[in-house]
Structure 1
Amino acid sequence: MTKLISIGECMIEMSALEDGLYKKGYAGDSLNMAYYARSFLPQSFDVDYFTALGDDVESEALAKSLERHGIGTDLIKYLPGKSPGLYMISLDNGERMFSYWRSASAAKEMAQDIGFLERTLLGDHALFFSGISLAILQPDTRAQFLDVLNTAKENGQQVIFDSNLRPSLWQNRQEMADWTAKASAVCTMALPTVPDEYVLFDEKSSEQVAERYLRAGCTEIVVKAGPEDALLTDGQQKEWVGPGQSIQPVDTTGAGDSFNGGYIAARLSGKNMVDAAQFAHKVAGQVIQHRGALVADIKSLVK
């Protein structure tokens, strides 16, 4: 396996600076993961981004930004009259709050062509998607998207899922729970985060979250818990791995995504689960000490 394809929505990011000013960038959970995975995977390993963009200036600039970061753009569909979504980050003592403008986002139509899905996603490569990747799609498109991912799983591909729950993207709590459960059944690796999963499924512990993914047929689970220890299990063994140090965050934007990217890169490079989780904690620990989702030269910061 020499390619990782990240599937989702990349948006225009407006991150808060001082004096009411904002800095423009491009980010989104699946893109953030791809950025950090690309940073730590060997150059012989391709990282591509699967999404849809429009035909406007910002779409062109976004694609060029991906290319500068070494992320492949050949799987991007360009839709006339569409544009990327936009979000704004507000901070309160390092904790982030988001405002979104994404009603016309081209990424909502990224999975409509099932033939394109099958041609691009099925093969000798790993796939990553998130709850946000799923939430922005229409219900009928979600179903065919998950069908293709299930075929990939049956074919022996690594299918990686981060539930990354965003209630505002769903019609109601039950819809979010139902589709999250369906997604958990097509993945081989799950990277959920508490306490979101606790609230959605009325669970009380990381062990219960992990057991639900195991019952769904997932074979590798990392239950993230922010600054607390992450629970790792493959159904046979169970380990708790913590960050090793307490860090006062400057901006927690991208913390989970960078953990995902670090962990996935380490696992695809041959590290075991414990070593991969320890490395992922180091990556996330550096990211939360900087503003914005994408930290430049992250590889030089992680020792």
Structure 2
Amino acid sequence: MSIVVIGSSATDMISLVPHLPKPGETVIGADFQTAAGGKGANQAVAAARLGGDVTLLASIGQDHLGDQSIEGFQKDHLCVDYIQRPEGKSGVALIFVAENGENSIAVSPGSNALLSPEYIKSNESVISQACYLLAQLETPMESILAIAKLANKYKIPFVLNPAPRTKKLTDELLQQVSILTPNQTEACLLTGIEVIDQASAEQAAQTLLQRGVNTVILTLGEQGALIAEKGQPAKLIPGINVTAKDTTGAGDTFNGALVLALSKGESLEKAVRFANAAAAISVTRIGAQPSAPDLAEVNQLIG
């Protein structure tokens, strides 16, 4: 049984700048590069690079950028047999990365907008055989709900990374989510609670549990990640301090690594420690997919 990741694929166009530009400001960049990206693809690649059997369901345009994406997935041993290739442009992300590692991102969805409920349902047989389902919010909301319903139908653990937080999440959806993995900003937007420390993180997590989510893993950057489960005391898993070059894709690496570890039978706490380590390595490199580590690197850091 494989991990099935459903989500976006895009080409990241990255400009390294001294600081993030303010509205109306032009900043002269030090370097420019392109890299494979898109939250769905990033998370699938992260899990596959760590040794997972991963199938990606995505909508990728019939253009040069799309062809390059498919070639990259195959090199990372992703199953690409069920990716749809509609006519038109593939997704693109425009990314500024500041010297302190912070980033600012604008996404043009392109063919990702065509990842429809009908496409999800046409791959029901693939989804029904998954050991874990992992999705994000860079594809149509009705498709996310279709995934959740299939996960519930076949009793498959469904991990939802609510990023980017641009869409409202209904209680109907949240009640079908096994694990929700917001970061501080996303948790604030979902609950109205400003998450600045462990106490506020616990408060936000409890609010999400009350809305029907089974488990919340709230990522807190260098502070680590908070695990909150119904009926259990919350627990903070410490992060790993590193010098960040680019935080782009760190959350995606975390989610891919988390699901990979869970699929191998690890406890939730061990899976989060593993994911923290993978994400820590990723921020020391430039780009989303290029920064995802392999299993030996993560084991070395943990060891």
Q: Scaled by the length of structure 2, what TM-score is found?
A: 0.84
The corresponding residue for 1:62 is 69
Instruction: Indicate which of 271, 282, 289 corresponds to 1:287.
Output: 282
Q: Secondary structure at the match of 1:77?
A: coil
Residue equivalent to 1:21? 31
Partner of residue 127 from structure 2, selected from 121, 126, 144: 121
Listed as ranges, the matches of 1:126-137 within 5 Å are 126-133=132-139, 137=140
Residues 137 and 144 in structure 2, CA contact (< 8 A), matched pair in contact too: no
**Contact map agreement 2:16 2:97 (CA 8 A) in 1:** no
Q: Please report the RMSD computed on the Cα atoms of aligned residues, expressed in angstroms.
A: 2.2
Q: Is the 8 A contact 1:111 1:117 kept in 2?
A: no
Does the CA contact (< 8 Å) of 1:52 and 1:107 recur in 2? yes
Gaps of 5+ in 1: 168-175
Hey, what's the Cα distance between the residues in 1 that align with 2:163 and 2:147?
21
**Is 1:3 matched with 2:2?**
yes
Amino acid of the structure 1 residue aligned with 2:45: Y
Matched, 1:242 2:247: no
Q: How does 1:1-303 map to 2 (within 5 A)?
A: 2-16=1-15, 20-42=30-52, 46-80=53-87, 82-92=88-98, 93-102=100-109, 105-113=110-118, 115-133=121-139, 137=140, 142-143=141-142, 145-167=144-166, 176-177=167-168, 179=169, 181-204=171-194, 205-237=200-232, 238-243=234-239, 245-294=240-289, 295=291, 298-302=294-298, 303=300
Instruction: Give the letter aligned to residue 89 of structure 1.
Output: I
Q: Quote how far apart the aligned CAs of 1:166 are.
A: 4.0
Contact 2:278 2:293 (8 Å CA) reproduced? no
Q: Tell me which stretches of 4 or more aligned residues in structure 1 moved more than 6 Å.
A: none
Task: Determine if contact 1:51/1:77 at 8 Å carries over to the other structure.
Answer: yes
Q: Using a 3 Å threshold, how does the CA distance of structure 1 residues 287 and 123 change in structure 2: closer, same or farther?
A: same
Change (3 A) 1:87 1:199: same
Classify 1:200/1:218 alpha carbon distance in 2 versus 1 (closer, same or farther; 3 Å): closer
Structure 1 residues 247 and 180: CA distance shift in structure 2, 3 A: farther
Given that 2:56 and 2:82 are in contact with CA atoms closer than 8 Å, whether structure 1 keeps it comes out as yes
Identity %, equivalent residues: 20
TM-score normalised to structure 1 length: 0.84
Q: Which residues of structure 2 form unaligned runs of 5+?
A: 18-28, 195-199
Q: Which secondary structure does the structure 1 equivalent of 2:116 belong to?
A: coil
1:33, 1:203 → 2: CA distance? 27
Which shifted more, 194-203 or 268-277?
194-203
Measured after TM superposition, the shift of residue 79 of structure 1 is 0.9
Cα shift at 1:156: 1.0
Between the aligned partners of 1:259 and 1:89, the Cα distance in structure 2 is 20
Distance 2:126 2:292 in 1: 29
Report the number of matched residues.
Answer: 279
Change (3 A) 1:157 1:6: same
